[in-house]
Amino acid sequence: MKEFNICLLPGDGIGCEVVNEAKKVLSAIEKKFGYKFNYKEELIGGIAYEKTGSPLPQITIDSAKSSDAVILGAVGDWKYDTLPPEVRPERALLGIRKALNLFANLRPAYVFDELVSSSTLKEDIIKGVDIMIIRELTGDVYFGEPKGVEIINGEKTGFNNMIYKESEINRIMHVAFKTAQKRNKKLCSIDKANVLDVSRLWREVAIEVAKEYPDVELSHMYVDNAAMQLIRNPKQFDTIVTGNIFGDILSDEASMLSGSLGMLPSASLSDGKTPSLYEPIHGSAPDLKGKNVVNPIATILSTAMMLEYSFNDSVASKAVYESVKKVLKEGYRTPDIFIEGNKNVSTSQMGDLIAQNI
């Protein structure tokens, strides 16, 4: 019996719904592969602010740190938009990443053959797309100091600093090259080195680290061109590495290759001294809360990444992917990926189907 402790952070909006479906699938994994998962649920985001006055209570941090892995739903709601910046739900995301030292965010953009028709792009463009985007997660403009809004020369001026240390770039590059080695040995580093000093350092470190991985082909691309190429010819990419803000934007763009934000998972990895965190890349969708219509597949596939990266079980991980693929092949769809001729199912029904096929 393989026993692990998992911290659940459902969060706001549809977070509870998608996390519940992930638990159904993990229950099936327990039975088939001999696991025992012990869950502890904590507050994060807007709901945490309402109940404790903080979007990220210390008990949440402590529970996460004492677990073997963390599963996050989503945070945020329009009703919190008028809160001071320091207590906005989104602050909890930055806080938990910093507390757990989650510096490497892996976001696969994979197009299931069964969903080619759900994309807004032509079939010949997206069929066979399989990209891994590796986003540095604890640096860049989201964490750079100083930051704020001040009166300068008589007018309000906002500023955020894009800052990267050589050591921060070095460690994310090693993750990227090692990931590329397990894939097709092609790594594209995305920056803005023609304009930004920080990007010139990024590229310099990438080239230096590449010397340790002679079997991996390293290329470079400016972020604006990369945004265009992801739509024009996404199959040219295999593994991508980039900074925090560029990665945030590009990975959301790449998600639409699959037809829906509800399809793509992510893993935020630490240095091994703290647990890693797994979450869908979509937001909290407060307008859909409680309607049982959202797609839980991104969260379910995030648990597959957890099985692989935290528990080193590629067999169980693959079983989740294969179950999702089988359910999609049988024509079952939540509304976000539904087209005429499919079988429309709810959030809970999709979770049941995937669990049953493990």
Q: Which residues are known to be catalytic?
A: 142, 192, 224, 248, 252
Give Cβ neighbours of residue 250 (< 8 Å, ≥ 6 apart). Answer: 133, 190, 223, 226, 227, 230, 240, 242
Angle at 168 between CA 43 and CA 42, to 5 degrees: 5
Q: Cβ distance 281 to 265 under 8 Å?
A: yes
In angstroms, rounded to a whole number, what is the distance separating the alpha carbons of residues 80 and 88?
7
* DSSP three-state, residue 238: coil
Which residue's structure tokens are 């199959």?
Answer: 235
According to DSSP, the β-strands at 276-280 and 265-269 are antiparallel
Query: ∠ CA(114), CA(299), CA(48), 5° rounding?
Result: 155
Phi, psi for residue 220 in degrees, rounded to 5: -130, 150
Residue with tokens 């593994």: 239
- Are 280 and 74 in contact by the 8 Å Cβ rule? The answer is yes
